[in-house]
Chain A
């Protein structure tokens, strides 16, 4: 089978521009979800480390539940469940349909929740890796909890957490493909459309896979760089 590579180009018949845009949407939904995950993961790790019994139990339940349910199902719940809630609320207010919610928002929230559960474990592990003496030295010079968190705990924990966060980010990118079920035109959705209209599914799904590989590879390099940067000075000097 011969392929017309111009299909991927930017000419009149080329899918280049829409694919590029779709890749942008993939990155955007992933970044949104990941940042939501950072916030939830931090709170959850904090709850597990420093919370009282009920707070700990709630954080534990959150991680167990979100790690025990398929990602696809979580997205379905937020998207279709969200629509059901909106329709019900609209009906109560006497509004006329049709009602819809944003696939971007539902997808980003769903993946953010999933990622938050994973990131909580990453942050918790990173906290426990901080040398106890380093915290003691901070207490003995009179640092209060918040200052100690900001100046001593967070910078050290973050540097330990970077590889784990990198893995979480890679998962988020791959999970973002599932958001295509909501109709959001990200990479997965766009290549499905292209595959259908050109009747060249292998070509376009392969192209889609390559787009994901490019995104994950570049992110991998970025996280590796961040890891090296954050560990400057932490390992013994190589002479």
Chain B
């Protein structure tokens, strides 16, 4: 075992870690907002519901990799895009990868949130109506908090999944952890050591995230603690 090489590699990979975290956090934040919007569209009526269905179908039915390529390589095909104010962003691999991750995460999160909404007891909403809460207050004070707590276990999986999905950003030249690992392998041909190093970095991160989310779950819904099968 070449420990000097391993530790050197580890620190090189660590340099990509902030970008990995950056992509994960922003895509989850953007995806979360978009998912909420999709659910509001769904609640708005027939057309909104069909739109949400179609959106989810598109982004869950095809691979994330092809979505990233479609945005990064494909959008530039359109003169309208190239001439728009968005082009300075859409020509950057960072923004393209982030956009693809956000759009993709929104589809999965929308479904999770939808499950959460469905699990909100009808009576809780009626009680809120009965004491005169407005629609928005009901959403903010009752429906959303209950739905989020219900959806949290499934959402924890989605967080982990997105954290791992950021690795795909490396396919459009981004130098996050996997990108750096890939470049180092091209330079040294020591694939096993380098990729294992990267794997350990991801594994430790996902384990810590899992632990943190589980703590959050018990904090938010103490009455459900210990009931997870």
Are A and B physically bound partners? yes
- Listed in ascending order, the chain A residues whose CB lies under 8 Å from chain B are 1, 64-65, 67-74, 76-77, 80-81, 83-85, 125, 128, 170, 173-178, 180-181, 188, 191-192, 195, 200-203, 205-206, 208-209, 212-213, 216-217
A201 engages B69 (CB within 8 Å): yes
Min CB distance, A177 to chain B, in Å? 4
A217 engages B61 (CB within 8 Å): yes
- The reply on B34 being an interface residue by CB < 8 A is no
Q: Which residues of B contact A208 (CB under 8 A)?
A: 62, 66
| 22 cross-chain CB contacts under 8 A | A64-B207, A65-B203, A68-B164, A70-B166, A70-B178, A71-B167, A72-B170, A73-B167, A73-B198, A80-B191, A81-B192, A81-B195, A125-B229, A170-B61, A177-B65, A195-B73, A195-B74, A200-B77, A202-B73, A202-B77, A203-B74, A205-B66
A76 engages B182 (CB within 8 Å): yes
Q: Which residues of A contact B165 (CB under 8 A)?
A: 70
Among residues of B, the one whose C-beta sits closest to the C-beta of A83 is: B191
Among residues of A, the one whose C-beta sits closest to the C-beta of B207 is: A68
Q: Which residues of A contact B73 (CB under 8 A)?
A: 195, 201-202, 205
- Listed in ascending order, the chain B residues whose CB lies under 8 Å from chain A are 57-58, 60-67, 69-70, 73-79, 160, 164-168, 170-171, 178, 181-182, 185, 189-192, 195-196, 198-199, 202-203, 206-207, 229
Majority SS of interface residues in chain B? Answer: helix
Q: Which residues of B contact A213 (CB under 8 A)?
A: 57-58, 61-62
A206 to B71, alpha carbons, bound, how many Å? Answer: 10
Among residues of A, the one whose C-beta sits closest to the C-beta of B67 is: A209
B164 engages A188 (CB within 8 Å): no
A67 to B202, alpha carbons, bound, how many Å? Answer: 10
A209 in contact with B192 given A64-B207, A73-B178, A73-B199 (CB within 8 Å): no
B61 engages A177 (CB within 8 Å): no
Q: Which residues of B contact A209 (CB under 8 A)?
A: 58, 62, 66-67, 70
B189 engages A84 (CB within 8 Å): yes
A174 engages B63 (CB within 8 Å): yes
Select which of B63, B66, B78 is within 8 A of A1 by beta carbon: B78
B70 engages A205 (CB within 8 Å): yes
Select which of A81, A128, A217 is within 8 A of B191 by beta carbon: A81
A191 engages B66 (CB within 8 Å): yes
Min CB distance, B108 to chain A, in Å? 11
A205 engages B63 (CB within 8 Å): no
B206 engages A68 (CB within 8 Å): yes
Min CB distance, B163 to chain A, in Å? 8
